[in-house]
Structures are given as C-alpha cells and as structure tokens.
Structure 1
Amino acid sequence: MNRCRVSHLPVRENRQWDVPHPACGYTTVFRGIGDNIVYAGVNPHRENVTLDYMDVEMFFRVIDETGMSGKPLYTIIDMQKVTCITYRYKKDFVNAAYNWGPEFKHVILFNVGPEIQTVAETFAAITPGYAPLSIAGTYEDAIRKIMALEATGAAGDEQMIEHADTKDRSFLFRKEFLAALARMSWLNLFDHHVCMPDPDEPCYSYMKSLEQLQNDLVSQRSGQRHTLEKLRREYAWKVEERELLIKAQADLNNRLEQQLKEETCRLRARAASMDMELTRISTAVVEKSARLNDICRRLSRLDLPGHLKKTMTGPCSQMISDYGSDNKPHSGIEHADPAFLSLLHRRHPELNQRELRICLLIRNNHNTRDIAASIGITPRGVESIRYRQHKKLGVEKHCTIKQYLIDMRG
C-alpha cells in the first residue's frame, strides 16, 4: 500500500473510483489518506480543463468504502490545470458546503491557477464556519495544514485566504464582497444584509455599489414577481372564460345531439310507416292485377263479337299495364305469385316491402349473392335480414325459411 509522502499515512486507491469527464478533458481521481482525509484530484488530458460538475455519488461511495462515513472529514482538492469552473459546479460546491456540513471538517484547494483564483476565494468566502475552506499552494502545503489543524484542534477559523494580517478590515470586506456576489449569483439570495465599511475606508465605494446592485436586483425581482402574478391572473381568467365557452358549446352540442336523435327516431318511424303502406299498396296492386288478368281470361273465353270483346278487355289490359309501370322496376313483386304474396302479407303484416321481396326471392330459389344484388345491399346485410326474418316468421329451428315459404298454404 502506498503512503503519503508528507504525513506517511496509508493511501488507498481504486481504479473504480476514477470518474472520466471526456467532454471537458479530465478525469476525477479519488484517494483515501489515513482514516479521515479524502483526496479529489483532477487528472487533466489537455492543457485547459473546465470543471463541469461535482462527482457527488462517487464521493459518498469513496467515504463509504474507506470506512470514513459518519466521521468529520478533511477534503483536499487538486485544481491542477483548471482554467474554468461552470455554473453547475459552483452550485454543486455551495450545496455541498451547506448541506453536507457534518461531512466536512475542513476543505483545502491547492494548485489553484490565476484563472480561477477569484472563484476559489469566493468559495472560501461563502462557505459556513462549520465547514471552512482555505487555499494552499501545493499538495505538501495542504497536508501540512491538515496536520497543523489536527495538532492544534482548530475549529475552522482559518478558512480565510492566506493573509499576513487577519485583522485587516480590507481583507474582511473583500471576503464580504465575494460572499455577497456568490449569494446573489449562485443562490439567488438578494435580501441578505451586506456589511458596510466606514465611508472613509478605501473599499467603501465598492461595497456601496454592491449594496445598490443588490437593492436594484431586489426591485427588479419584485417587479418580475408582480408581472408574473398579473400574467397568472390573466391566464386564470382566460382559462376560466375558455372553460365557460367550452361548457356552453358542450351543452349546445348535447341539445343538438338529442334533437338529432329525436328527429332520427321520428324519421325512422315515418319511414317504417311509409314502408308498411307501400307494402300494403304493392300487395293490393298485385292482387288487383291478378284479378284483372282473370277477368280478361274469362272475357276471352266468352262467345262475344270480336269488337265487343276487345272493347271489354281493352280497359282491363290498360289497367294491368298501368299497374305494372307504377311498380318499382325489378322489385320482384310485380312478377310474383299474387296468391303467395297476399297470403304472406295476411299472415305476417309486420313484414315490410324489402322483406317481402327477400321472401319471394328465397322461395324462387335465389342465393344470397343474387338477393343482395337485386335489392342493393351486401350479402352480409341479407344474412342479417334472414336471421331476423327467421324470428319474425316464427320458423322452427329444424326448418329453413325457404321450406317454410314453399310449404305455406292458404
């Protein structure tokens, strides 16, 4: 097992703790040093590295697998070749500082380049007192700082940036300035009090400008909230208005649908009544045509002069011709057995014109396809009608409609 070259504490390594960030050109490397130090290093794959986000899940896995879970930890972070830190990483860092507080006894950043020095100082300024952060030059400096903290039992007042005189008010207000910017930028906190120096101090103008910026942002956010609330009310009003219109339209549609159903029922009843009347008239026409034919046959057998016989049979023939022309062409009834149709109509007056036609075609030995073509419906429609007719005619199960119609007697 390797040992730390400064503290000589054992160093635990695991390649599975490495987290690659290929898009940003680095790999995060975790190590366990001793029983309370976690090392998080940036292994760069190119010159300029951008930290995109913190590897939170892997951090907790490392402290769990090294047996450090539940202990106050020292954490050292190597920022070698880091030239940019994303907004997401900053948010993650602040979240870790405030929400993982018991896990951090002290955090130390080292190998911090000039490009991110201000961000690092801002981290140090915004971290709470129970989880302090400081900046060291090298790995050795970071380990020695931890050893010194362990030796003195310091609680964390050394989180400030290394400075010769911690009582220097300009240094304290610099920290306050950075912390205030971080609160506004990273946490959206605009109502936090800003400590102001005396008007004659050099940093007064900077702090005053910061205070004015904060007040402006508070006013801006208040205006945005007012505008947002106004938009919400307008939206709610429009939604309510639209819902009322939709409800009114739905009610109208329901009324129209009910009227349509009533009109449909009325028309169907009227059509059924007219169909029955048409059936009655058609049957009567067929019967009258049959009687007229019988009269003509009897007149032709009488011993009468030709001109008188013609005078008597002519009107009958004309009436038969007129009856035939009034019927629907190819309906099948005008060429039917009048006695059969009359008998069928008397026995089953509920049958309509189309059903009488179908009964006639069935009796005359037409198949389903021929019947469908004759009356202008599909074969499936004919089968459906035949099924209903089987019940209407009261045909027994062992008997077919055709046999029933053939066996029908007066």
Structure 2
Amino acid sequence: MTHHSQNTSLTVVEKPNWRSEHPHAGYTKIIKVAGDDILLASLEAKGSVTLDTMDTDLMQRVLSEQGLESTPVFVVWDLSHVAAMSHTYKKETAQLIYNATTPLRGIVFYNIDPEFATTVETFSAIVNETVPVVSCSSFDEAIDAVERIRRGEEIERPDETKPEDSLESRKKEFLGYIGRLSWLNMLKQDIILPPQDSPAYPFFKAIDNLQSDLVEITRTEQEELEQVRKECDKILTEQTIQLNAQQELHKQLKQQLDKEKAELTSRIASQEMELTRISTAIAEKTSSLQQLLDIIKELDIDSLQKEQMIKSCENMIETEMIEKKLNIELTSTDSDFLLKLQKQHPNLNQRELRICLLIKLNYDTREIARSIGISTRGMESIRYRMHKKIGLSRHQSIKGYLTELAAHEQGA
C-alpha cells in the first residue's frame, strides 16, 4: 500500500508482511518505507511494553523487497509505548548501530518516554561518529533531522550550546563506556580518566575498575570452562576406554557363545543320529516281537500258558512302543531341562531323572512304569520318595513343579 504522510510530502509504502508479532511481549513491530531511503519503525500495542528481541529479519525483508540492501538508509524510530528494552534487545540494537551490516546514514528516535531517555542517550554515546543518532520530540522534528543530516548540516547537541559546561560531554563519555561494556562486551576500552580533582573522576574511575573486574571475571570463567572441558575430555576418554573394554568382552563372550552353540549343534546332530539308530533298533525289535506273538498264537499248547506268553509279548511290544515314542519326542529343550534339573537336585539318580522327564512329557504312571520295567504300585512308591527328595510340600505336585521349572527354562 502506498500513501502520503499527513505531516510531510513523503510517499509512504507499507505491506502486510512488513509486520512482526510479539504476542508474549504484547506488541507488533511495523516497518514502513518513506521516500527513497527512510525506514519508519513503530509499534502497535495497547499499553506500555518492553521490547524483547530485535526484528532483524523483518528489516532485511523490507530492504530486500524495496531493493535497498546496498543503499544507506535512515531509521526513524517511533518509541511510543516503549517503556523499556530487554538486555538482548539493547545488545542487538547496539550491534546494529555500532557494527552496522546494513548501511546507515542516521538513526532518529522520537516520542521518547522520559524514563527511557537515558537508554536512548546511551545508544547515541556508543555510536560511530559517522552515523549520527538523534533524539526528537515528534515525527515532524524527526523528518526535519533526517533532512538536515542528508544536507550535511551539524545537528546541534546540548553540550555544544554551552561550551563552558562540560557536564553533557562527560555524561556522553560516561554513557558510552557503560554501553560498550554492557551491550558490546568491549573490555579493552581505553578509559580516559578526568583529573583527580574533577567531580567526575570517581565515576570514571569506577568504570575503569568495573572494566578491570569484568576482565578478571571473564578470564576466571574461561579458566573454569577450560577446566570443565578438560574434565569432560577425561571422563569421555575413560568412558571410551570402558566402552572399548566392554565391546571386547562382548566380542569374547560372543565367540564363546558361538563356540558353545557349535558344540551344542554337534551334540544335537550326534543325538539325532543315535536316536535314529535306537528307533531303528526298536522298530526291528518290535517287528520281531510281533512275529513271535503271531507264532505263539498259532502254537497248539496249554491255553493258560499260551495266554501268559501272549500277554508277555504284548507288554514287551507296548514297552518298546513307549520307548520309541519317547525317543522321537526328546528334543534339545528336554536335554536342557534334564541338565537344569540335575543341577538343582543332584541327589536324583538317573532313573529318577528319566521319570521326571516322562512326567514332564505327560506320560501317565502306567506308561512310565512299563518304560522303566516296574509295576504301577512300585512306580507310585518311587514318586512318593522323589517328592521328598525334591523337597516339595504336601500340597505341591511333582507334575506342577516340573512344568514350572520347564517354563522358567524356556523363558531364560
């Protein structure tokens, strides 16, 4: 949008994107362009505010869109609503004025709150002499100051109106030293002290002492930071050594596990071969028993004796079938289970370990009894003794205990 200023003949350009919201601080920063080279900065706010951060991006956007990146510009700053500036804002403004990356011909402040006047004077005191900073009462005075700077006219300063009174000059020096220390972190200024009998001497001496103290504080902080860095490097080195050691240990453990895995795989393969051999032998034995049973059935002998012989053969065949089934079902997990059971209960003998495995595999008492060649009653007696050897209470069952032990083994 382009329009003419009500108080001047300058053409003013403003755009919707030349605004920057500061919701937490309660204001909106606005920049307009007046004429060919004047940036008009102002705020929209409902009351007095504290400026929080500089809108450098906003200024660069305006300069870029107007093609003013390389053109020395004036900044006319309406400080209505401004009661204070954050330290960050002061530093950023001081950097803009003192080390301007944007070419500046001059900065003019107006509508300055009396409580904020000293801050503005400090900006004026630290500025490079080639970039004048002027304070005015109104917009018209500000534009008039811009035109006088443009024509190369000297801007009258309070200290120039009364050359016999050096108070304003001393004040400017004092504020300049303070601003450069606080906002620009310039700790190597040559602070020129007035004569010792001057009323201003204590103030400038205090600044000189403050600068020395800040130099010492900065040096101490740097030494402390360096010490912290060394300690961090030491800790990092120690942790790196520990990590490398852990990685090496992990590597060794992995190699050991790989070796054990290979050995276990070999064992399983051997066991599978053995199981195959046993299964084949059982099958052959069962076949022979079946043939014998068929022959007995054809014999012409005493019926009672014949019945006993048939029953014996059938029992033997059933036992062999149980053995075959057991050998087929036996897995590496069962082997691990037996190892753990033997480790926890070394008082169990081989037959009892075998019985525990059969119980865990859900074989009933009758099948287990036939597998180990004893009567069902004898099997019940063995289970009773095993119950005590394992250390179970009266309300615990061997089956439940072995199932829980197997579950823990699989979970591990």
Deviates more, 1:91-100 or 1:240-249: 91-100
Structure 1: stretches of 5+ with no match in the other structure: 334-352, 356-374, 377-410
The answer to whether the Cα contact below 8 Å between 2:125 and 2:172 also exists between their aligned partners in 1 is yes
| Corresponding letter in the other structure for 2:53 | Y
* Residue pairs, 1:286-301, within 5 angstroms: 286-298=283-295, 301=298
How many residue pairs get matched?
A: 329
Deviates more, 1:216-225 or 1:27-36: 27-36
State the alpha-carbon separation in 2 of the partners of residues 328 and 188 from structure 1.
93
Partner of 2:77: 77
The answer to whether the Cα contact below 8 Å between 1:289 and 1:320 also exists between their aligned partners in 2 is no
Partner of 1:40: 41
Structure 2: stretches of 5+ with no match in the other structure: 331-360, 363-412
| Corresponding letter in the other structure for 1:2 | H
The answer to whether the Cα contact below 8 Å between 1:44 and 1:80 also exists between their aligned partners in 2 is no
- 1:240-266 CA distance string (max 9 Å, x none): 111111111111112111211221221
CA, structure 1 residues 275+178, in 2 after alignment: closer, same or farther (shift >3 Å)?
same
Q: 1:331 aligns with which of 313, 325, 330?
A: 325
Partner of 2:135: 135
Partner of 1:250: 247
- 1:113-134 CA distance string (max 9 Å, x none): 2110110011101111222212
Task: Tell me the TM-score normalized by structure 2.
Answer: 0.68
State the alpha-carbon separation in 2 of the partners of residues 292 and 193 from structure 1.
117
State the alpha-carbon separation in 1 of the partners of residues 293 and 19 from structure 2.
115
State the alpha-carbon separation in 1 of the partners of residues 134 and 284 from structure 2.
118
Partner of 1:338: none
State the alpha-carbon separation in 1 of the partners of residues 235 and 156 from structure 2.
55
CA, structure 1 residues 139+288, in 2 after alignment: closer, same or farther (shift >3 Å)?
closer
- 1:53-89 CA distance string (max 9 Å, x none): 3333443444455565533323221212321122232
CA, structure 1 residues 56+242, in 2 after alignment: closer, same or farther (shift >3 Å)?
closer
Partner of 1:55: 55
Partner of 2:4: 2
1:202: how far off?
A: 0.9
The answer to whether the Cα contact below 8 Å between 1:134 and 1:159 also exists between their aligned partners in 2 is no
Deviates more, 1:263-272 or 1:28-37: 28-37
| Corresponding letter in the other structure for 1:328 | I
| Corresponding letter in the other structure for 1:197 | P
Q: 1:321 aligns with which of 315, 319, 326?
A: 315
Question: RMSD of aligned C-alpha atoms?
Answer: 3.5
Partner of 1:263: 260
State the alpha-carbon separation in 2 of the partners of residues 90 and 305 from structure 1.
124
SS at match of 1:190: coil
Deviates more, 1:97-106 or 1:111-120: 97-106
Partner of 1:279: 276
Partner of 1:106: 106
CA, structure 1 residues 240+28, in 2 after alignment: closer, same or farther (shift >3 Å)?
closer
SS at match of 2:322: coil
The answer to whether the Cα contact below 8 Å between 2:106 and 2:133 also exists between their aligned partners in 1 is yes
SS at match of 2:39: strand
1:228: how far off?
A: 1.2
| Corresponding letter in the other structure for 1:121 | E
